[in-house]
């Protein structure tokens, strides 16, 4: 119920957001720091349809207050009314819930704001900057048909021991993964991208840049790509997926 979700829930309700109750049907330990939950959708997919990078807001309790975070759907199946969600586990209410979740548990979800407009013209090369929190969206973005099968270069930030076994669905024939250890609160990733991205942009006629990492790093790179590299707004998607403490 929106009235139990504070001002965020009230605003979403005014924006005609749709609420659903999801039920955990299974769990899978991908790595010690990454967990997949299988869920029945409570009618969500029938009501919203499916598109690349579709996401929902989940509602958690944090010190007695409502707390929402967005997650990309994995393997949405409208016929079965089911999908999965993947959680990069760290400190916080969302990770605490995901660690403890077992079949039969339920959680509230809200759909509002999700959408996908493929860039036109279709990308000749996709330049992606992300991390474990955005991996489900990266997999969806680079999946069959989402961006016309364009080749992609992905700068993927994270500790090597925590990211080696993550469920990448990239195609090695079309997608290059450049692994970047997380150092200096994201500053190392920024340096790598600034050193390598300009040449790739200049080598392709219709690039598309997609950035989804921690909020500060996302803002820094987005401003760099727009202001210093001159990438138009319609050829850039940037969204902070989490806040570094």
Model confidence at 71, in pLDDT bands (50, 70, 90)?
very high
Same domain, 13 and 80: yes
In a domain, 80, yes or no: yes
**Where does a domain end: 80, 111, 142?**
111
Residue range(s) defining the domain that contains residue 47: 2-111
At residue 1, does pLDDT exceed 60?
no
Q: Distance between CA 76 and CA 55 in Å, rounded?
A: 10
Question: How does pLDDT run across 102-120, given as a tens digit for each residue?
Answer: 999 999 999 976 678 889 9
Give Rg (Cα) of the chain. 18
Q: What is the mean pLDDT of residues 115-143?
A: 93
Check residue 15 and give its pLDDT.
46
Check residue 188 and give its pLDDT.
97
Q: What is the CATH number of the domain that holds 176?
A: 3.40.50.80
Model confidence at 194, in pLDDT bands (50, 70, 90)?
very high
Same domain, 167 and 73: no
The reported pTM is: 0.89
In a domain, 197, yes or no: yes
Same domain, 82 and 184: no
Q: Between 64 and 22, whose confidence is greater?
A: 22
Structural domains of the chain, count? 2
Q: Distance between CA 200 and CA 151 in Å, rounded?
A: 12
Question: How does pLDDT run across 4-27, given as a tens digit for each residue?
Answer: 555 455 544 544 578 999 999 999
In a domain, 140, yes or no: yes
Check residue 146 and give its pLDDT.
80
Helices 215-223 and 187-202, packing angle to 10 deg? 30
**Where does a domain end: 111, 133, 168?**
111
Q: Distance between CA 15 and CA 13 in Å, rounded?
A: 5
In a domain, 166, yes or no: yes
Check residue 16 and give its pLDDT.
57
Same domain, 151 and 99: no
**Where does a domain end: 43, 78, 111?**
111
Model confidence at 77, in pLDDT bands (50, 70, 90)?
very high
Question: How does pLDDT run across 27-36, given as a tens digit for each residue?
Answer: 999 999 999 9
Q: What is the CATH number of the domain that holds 100?
A: 2.40.30.10
Same domain, 19 and 91: yes
Same domain, 25 and 51: yes
Signed CA dihedral, 191, 130, 112, 64: sign only:
negative
Same domain, 89 and 141: no
Cβ contacts of residue 73 below 8 Å, gap of 6+?
Answer: 50, 54, 55, 56, 83, 84, 85, 136, 140
Q: What single-letter DSSP state applies at residue 122? A: P
Question: How does pLDDT run across 212-234, given as a tens digit for each residue?
Answer: 999 999 999 999 999 999 999 99
């Amino acid at each position: 119920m929106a009235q139990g979700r504070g001002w965020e829930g009230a605003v979403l309700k005014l924006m005609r957001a749709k609420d659903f109750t999801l039920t955990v049907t299974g769990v899978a330990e991908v790595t010690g720091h990454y967990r997949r939950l299988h869920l029945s959708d409570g009618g969500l997919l029938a009501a919203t349809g499916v598109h690349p990078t579709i996401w929902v807001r989940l509602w958690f309790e944090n010190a007695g207050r409502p707390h929402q975070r967005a997650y990309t759907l994995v393997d949405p199946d409208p016929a079965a009314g089911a999908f999965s969600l993947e959680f990069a586990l760290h400190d916080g209410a969302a990770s605490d819930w995901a660690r403890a979740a077992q079949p039969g548990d339920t959680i509230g979800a809200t759909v509002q704001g999700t959408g996908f407009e493929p860039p036109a013209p279709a990308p000749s090369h996709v330049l992606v900057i992300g991390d474990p929190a955005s991996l489900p969206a990266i997999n969806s973005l680079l999946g069959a048909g989402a961006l016309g099968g364009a080749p992609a270069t992905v700068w993927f930030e994270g500790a090597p021991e925590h990211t080696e076994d993550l469920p990448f669905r990239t195609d090695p024939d079309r997608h290059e993964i450049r692994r970047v250890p997380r150092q200096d609160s994201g500053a190392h990733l920024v340096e790598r991208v600034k050193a390598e991205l300009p040449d790739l942009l200049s080598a392709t006629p219709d690039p598309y840049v997609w950035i989804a990492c921690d909020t500060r790093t996302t803002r820094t790179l987005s401003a760099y790509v727009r202001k210093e590299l001159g990438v138009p707004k319609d050829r850039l998607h940037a969204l902070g997926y989490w806040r570094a403490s």
